[in-house]
Every structure is written in C-alpha cells, then in structure tokens.
C-alpha cells in the first residue's frame, strides 16, 4: 500500500519548480531592497557599501528560506517559509545607529539574536507577555516613528526639501498605488518593487534624480563587519531586545497559519521553537554582515494559494535563487544606484502599512473593555512623546534618555506593566480556607472530586498562551 504524501512534502518537477520559485522571489524582493536602502540612506553608505549590504541580505534571505523549508535537526520548521529582513527590526536598527553609531547597532543585533536563542525553552511563558494589545501598541509606534524617518529620506540630510524630491517621491507612491489597484497575483504583491523601478525611470527621464550604480562586476562575497568591530551596549540594544522577545508571539501565529495552509496539523509546541532557532541563527549572521534581525514571513502564502502548490521544496528553490542573486555583484551594484527620493517614497508606503497593521491588532484586542482602552491610551501617549518631542528627556541621565527616548521601548514596557497591573487589580478576592470550609458545612455541599481526590477543575488541560490564536489572523502582515 502506497503511503500518502502530504502536500507540504510533495516533490515538484524541475520544469515547474523554477517558475514557481521565481514567483516567490518576485513577491518578496521589495522587502530586502527597500530595507537595505533605508539603512544605506540613513547611514550615508557609499554605493559600494550599499551593494555589499544588499548582497548580504539577499544571501541571508536565501539561506534562511532553505533552513526553514528543509530543516536541520531541531532548527527550521520544514514548512514553506520565506525569510526576510524585518521592517520593524530595521527601523529600530536605524534608530540605534543614529543615536549610538552603526557598530553599536550591529552589536545590538547580535545581543537580540542571542537573547531569542536563549529564551526559546521559555517560549510558553514569554509569549504571554505580548498579547495582541501589547503587540498592537508596539507595531503602531514603530510604523509612526519610521514614517518620520522615511520623510527624512525625501528631505535629505539638511532637512531642506527640494521640490523635485517631493514630486519624485509622490510619483513613486502613485505608481505603487496604481500597481496595487490594477494588477493581480504576484504582480500585485510586487507593487512596491514596481514603484521603485518606475520612480527611478521617472527620475532619469524627467531630470529629477540620477541613477548611479556602484562600480564593479562579477561575483563578490559580502563584507564581514562593514561598520567595524561590533560594540555591545545593553541599554542601547533595549529596543531590539524587546522586539526579539515579542517576535515569539508573531512566530506562533505565522507557524499555525502556515501549517493549516500547507495541510499539516498545527503543532506550536514543536514547530515554533524550530522557527525561532532558525530566525536567531540567521540574525547572528546578519549582525556580522551589517544587517538587522532576520524574520520568517508567511507573506508568500498568497502565492501558494494562487498556484495551488504548497510544497516546501518550492520555497527551498526560491532560497537557492536568492543566494545566487545575492552573489551576482552586477545586480546588487545596479540596485545600489536608486535615487534617495524614490526609496523615501517606497518607504512611506511600507511603514504606513506597518502602522495600519498595529491598528488592526489593537482592533482585535477588545478595546471596548475599559482596562484595555486605558492601557492602549497611556502606552501610546508614553510612546509618542519622544517621537513628537525628541528633546523631552535631554536633561535626564543617559540611561533614562536611552530607555524613555525610544518610543517603541517606552510604549511597549508601559503596555506590559499596565496590563500586569490591571490583571492583578481585576482578580476577584480569594476566599480563605477556613471560611470556605465553614460555608460548605453550612450549605451541606461539597466540591465535586475526581477519583483521585482533586477538584474536578484541576483535571482540565492548561490553556494555550494568551493571544496566539487571535494572532493567527494578523500573521501575514505583522512580520514586515
């Protein structure tokens, strides 16, 4: 009798494998390109340095996709996943680099990746700290902060906006919107990438900007430690440390959603730690190559549904293509020449979408409850203060400026602490043992016991971590 092969484990013929894998690459290409150019523009990297970082990120995306799709031991979920540079993580990387230097930012990536690897055994406890209410506040604050950074890409380092830059950024956003409205399938998912290509063409033809690829040809390996030896500062790394812990909640939703889509029974206890280990491992490599945290994404699920092919070997082939593209130096160097205003226009779209994802997560967190609305309101107020008033904490000691000067850290910690406070305050008072026994004697009633002499409620299985089921609906968009 022939055993039935699950759709996720189906082998796809090479003739179909390459076109299917290429669709996955096209659907995710905008994420690494846009995040690298945001980083390069913010750090004022040269075209050659930008090409090196882009090459590194593409190789990491490919290697991570291979690891998650095929798995090695207890690392990698063996599900059709694609790995990307995290948009939220990149935003925090840029913030740390601007405040403390890129060497500290690279050290922060290494610390955050090591922390995620260390807390995997405590997965069940950590994920309870980041329900949709807390995650919604975090993601919304990241989106708002990075819209401000994207605007600075358009204005330039001097802050004096040229009319041509605004027009070029607006044209890029308009083409991106048109592609999203009128295209379908994989092309619609590539709307940001299409907007960047069209924006660059408009810049060259209309004289609004220049396209200057970095010199060089052939294959090249990414540069190791492009910002110098990483420096480790725990206080400066706090934003990424908090984000790395919160990703466990996102990983749970991503893994459950991908399992259900690919026809495998969800098993978060087994698969979530495998996904987290692969994320942490690739992020350690990212820290040495000048990139931010790498995250596993289920954005490619739309391609799987479109084609009807749910095999993990397709995403593994996509990973192989990404590694090859990353090592193709001419391609990386050509992409390194995009005008900053084009990148800024694309970034406005990307980070505004992240902000909307935070709003969607908050909408699923039952804000009608008085305590939830108060937690969200106060956490957002604390998180927005350093964004709208950057000099607010200038007169305070350095550790306070580092802790409260990051809107993401301040808002997230406020949400976690207030949620814990309201949880304790809302608990009903416990009845004392003597009073309970007296009440039972007076009423003549006894607590129903099982055959082992324990209250019947004690036989119930423990509930899954709070919020992970509700996160399933937000899984596709959260990890940008």
Gap between the Cα atoms of 173 and 192, Å rounded: 8
DSSP alpha helix (H) spans, 120-233: 123-126, 132-155, 163-182, 185-189, 191-206
> Taking 60 as the threshold, does the pLDDT of residue 249 lie above it?
yes
pLDDT grade, residue 378 (50/70/90)? very high
Q: What is the pLDDT of residues 440-451, one digit of tens each?
A: 444 444 444 444
Q: Average pLDDT, stretch 92-106?
A: 91
Query: Is pLDDT at 106 greater than 90 in this prediction?
Result: yes
Q: Which helix (H) or strand (E) holds 84?
A: strand 82-85
Neighbours of 400 (CB within 10 A): 12
Rounded distance between C-alpha atoms, residue 365 and residue 173, angstroms: 31
Answer whether residue 114 shows pLDDT above 90: yes
35 C-beta neighbours (distance < 10 Å), count: 27
* Predicted confidence (pLDDT) at residue 465 exceeds the cutoff of 70: no
Calculate the average pLDDT of the chain. 79
Query: What is the largest distance, in Å, between two alpha-carbon atoms of the chain?
Result: 90
CA 423 to CA 431: how far, in whole Å? 18
- What is the tens place of the pLDDT at every residue in 277-315? 999 999 999 999 999 999 887 666 666 665 667 888 989
Structural tokens at position 417: 């602490």
Confidence of residue 399 (pLDDT cuts 50, 70, 90): confident
Model pLDDT for residues 132-145, shown as the tens digit of each residue: 888 888 888 878 87
> b/e for 243-259, b at 16 or more Cβ within 10 A?
bbbbbbbbbbbbbbbbb
What confidence category does residue 475 fall into, taking pLDDT thresholds of 50, 70 and 90? very low
Query: Mean pLDDT highest for which of 9-13, 111-115, 296-300, 336-340?
Result: 111-115
- Cβ count within 10 A of residue 229: 8
3-state secondary structure of 23: helix
113 band by pLDDT with thresholds 50, 70 and 90: very high
- Pairing verdict, β 294-297 and 82-85: antiparallel
**pLDDT over 60 at 434, yes or no:** no
Question: Six-digit token pair at 14?
Answer: 């090479």
Residue found under tokens 């509930």: 463
Sorting pLDDT into bands at 50, 70 and 90, what band is 225? very high
């Amino acid at each position: 009798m022939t055993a039935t092969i699950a759709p996720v484990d189906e082998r796809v013929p090479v003739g179909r494998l390459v076109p299917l894998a290429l669709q996955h690459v096209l659907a995710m290409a905008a994420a690494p390109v846009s995040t690298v150019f945001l980083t390069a523009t913010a750090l004022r990297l040269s075209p050659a340095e930008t090409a090196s970082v882009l090459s590194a990120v593409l190789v990491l995306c490919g290697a991570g996709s291979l690891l998650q799709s095929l798995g090695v031991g207890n690392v990698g979920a063996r599900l059709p996943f694609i790995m990307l540079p995290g948009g939220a993580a990149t935003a925090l990387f840029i913030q740390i680099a601007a405040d403390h230097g890129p060497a500290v930012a690279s050290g922060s990536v290494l610390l955050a990746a090591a922390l995620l690897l260390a807390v995997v055994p405590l997965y069940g406890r950590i994920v309870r700290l980041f329900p949709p209410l807390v995650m919604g506040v975090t993601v919304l604050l990241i989106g708002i902060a990075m819209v401000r950074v994207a605007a600075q890409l358009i204005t330039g380092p001097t802050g004096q906006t040229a009319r041509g830059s605004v027009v070029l950024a607006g044209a890029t956003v308009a083409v991106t919107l048109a592609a999203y409205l009128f295209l379908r399938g994989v092309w619609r998912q590539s709307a940001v990438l299409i907007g960047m290509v069209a924006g660059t063409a408009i810049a060259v033809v209309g004289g609004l900007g220049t396209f200057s690829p970095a010199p060089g040809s052939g294959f090249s390996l990414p540069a190791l430690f492009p910002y110098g030896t990483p420096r480790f500062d725990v206080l400066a790394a706090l934003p990424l440390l908090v984000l790395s812990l919160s990703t466990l909640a996102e990983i749970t939703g991503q893994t459950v959603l991908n399992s259900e889509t690919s026809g495998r029974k969800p098993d978060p206890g087994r698969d979530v730690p495998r996904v987290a280990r692969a994320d942490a491992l690739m992020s350690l490599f990212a820290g040495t190559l000048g990139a931010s945290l790498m995250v596993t994404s289920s954005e490619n699920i739309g391609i799987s549904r479109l084609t009807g092919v749910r095999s993990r070997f397709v995403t593994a082939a996509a990973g192989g293509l990404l590694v090859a593209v990353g090592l193709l130096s001419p391609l990386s160097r050509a992409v390194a020449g995009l005008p900053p205003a084009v990148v800024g226009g694309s970034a406005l779209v990307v980070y505004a979408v992240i902000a909307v994802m935070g709003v969607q997560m908050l909408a699923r967190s039952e804000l009608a409850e008085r305590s939830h609305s108060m937690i969200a309101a106060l956490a957002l107020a604390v998180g927005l203060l350093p964004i709208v008033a950057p000099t607010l904490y200038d007169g305070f000691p350095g550790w306070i400026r580092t802790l409260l000067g990051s809107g993401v850290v301040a808002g997230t910690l406020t949400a976690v602490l207030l949620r814990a406070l309201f949880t304790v305050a809302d608990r009903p008072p416990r009845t004392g043992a003597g009073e309970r026994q007296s009440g039972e004697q007076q009423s003549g009633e006894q607590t129903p016991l099982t055959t082992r002499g324990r209250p019947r409620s004690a036989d119930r299985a423990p509930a899954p971590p709070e919020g992970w089921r509700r996160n399933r609906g937000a899984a596709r968009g959260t990890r940008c």
